[in-house]
A = this chain, B = another copy of it.
Amino acid sequence: MGHTVGEQSIQFDSSVYLLGAGSVVGKKEGDGPLGKYFDKIGQEDGLFGCSSWEEAESTLQKEALSIAMEKAGISREELRLIYAGDLLAQTIASSFGIMGFHRPVYGLYGACSTMGEALSLASMAVAGGYGECVGVVTSSHFCSAEKEFRYPLGYGSQRPLSATWTVTGSGACILGTRKSHARITGITTGKIVDYGLKDSFNMGACMAPAAASTIEANLRDFSRKPEDYDRIITGDLGEIGQKILFDLLEEKGIRIEERHMDCGIEIFDKETQDTHAGGSGCGCSAATFASYILPKVEKGEWRRILFIPTGALLSKVSYNEGKSVPGIAQAVVVEHC
């Protein structure tokens, strides 16, 4: 079971354990600073043996979830529910990625915050007694995302320095009731926050206010201070978003600099990889969580962390119709046990 805490949070009384995780990424991500942590790294062409970028992205999900199941030691039949999402229109990477598992499915869309949303809903399911084993998986692919949100790659458009680089990758986790060394003890559901920014090449700035809102709500709802977390880890704010996050939180008297980490900043080497402000995409936080963050909690290197994937809510159509880019951030508290 769980119970509500404050305005936006839920605390889980019965435990929700993380039983296994899988990550699959592209070559560029494999060449980055986190390269050695990923379970599987693709070839230069980014196609993962497929004939389209979309199929390749589906394959990432398929493989990440399969690895997570294998590590959790569970069979396909034991998977009660799957929560899945991606960035593409009508989340087709997920539909075609998880179809072959033949398991009950809920499709999600939370832009790059989807891994936070999926972990939240899966925790609610496990704690609620709705399944002993529940899977979550999200993905993004640089090539399918550029086509979806900006320009076809062949167009060769220039990217401003504020732009982030969509991660080619997928991360999956199995949550369940069986004891392990990491558990989800609470969540904070995000509100949509709109500061009126309209620049889809500066998504860090669009998402930072949502990250600030959810972090503030989490600390308030659970009566915690930043020091109560070993790390506060956002999804893909990148360098510009990170600065704005610090500023916004400081206005509220909250200082997180010492313990803040951003998956988008960690996943690429800015100096050598030409990725500008950092990585993004719902594969960014998902693959980083599955490969790098979760193992540190499992080992007890970090006792308690706050993981907050962040999403920019835009589409080609909303952008071209001159709408702003609101943000959302979904937070999950993960503790060593």
Interface residues of A (CB under 8 A from B): 1-4, 7-8, 10, 52, 54-55, 80-81, 85, 87-92, 95-96, 98-99, 102-111, 117, 120-121, 124-125, 127-131, 147-148, 189-192, 194, 313-318, 321, 323, 326, 328, 330
Determine if A92 and B317 form an interchain contact, defined as CB atoms under 8 angstroms apart: yes
With CB as the reference atom, state the residue of chain B lying closest to A130: B10
Known: A90-B87, A109-B85. A2 touches B104 (CB 8 A): no
Residues in B neighbouring A85, C-beta threshold 8 A: 109
Determine if A54 and B99 form an interchain contact, defined as CB atoms under 8 angstroms apart: no
Bound CA span A1–B128, Å: 6
Provide a sorted-by-A list of 24 A–B residue pairs whose CB atoms are within 8 angstroms. A1-B129, A3-B130, A10-B130, A54-B321, A90-B313, A90-B315, A95-B313, A98-B192, A102-B192, A105-B190, A105-B328, A106-B108, A106-B117, A106-B189, A106-B330, A107-B109, A107-B328, A108-B108, A109-B109, A124-B125, A127-B128, A128-B128, A128-B129, A147-B317
Determine if B130 and A54 form an interchain contact, defined as CB atoms under 8 angstroms apart: no
Residues in B neighbouring A129, C-beta threshold 8 A: 1-4, 128
Residues in B neighbouring A315, C-beta threshold 8 A: 88-90, 92
Residues in B neighbouring A190, C-beta threshold 8 A: 104-105
Known: A54-B321, A90-B111. 15 other contacts (CB 8 A): A4-B129, A52-B321, A54-B318, A81-B189, A92-B313, A92-B315, A92-B317, A95-B318, A98-B192, A99-B192, A107-B108, A107-B110, A107-B328, A124-B124, A147-B317
Residues in B neighbouring A108, C-beta threshold 8 A: 106-109
Residues in B neighbouring A109, C-beta threshold 8 A: 85, 90-91, 107-109
Determine if A95 and B128 form an interchain contact, defined as CB atoms under 8 angstroms apart: no
Bound CA span A39–B205, Å: 40
Determine if B318 and A4 form an interchain contact, defined as CB atoms under 8 angstroms apart: no
Known: A2-B128, A80-B4, A90-B109. A104 touches B321 (CB 8 A): no
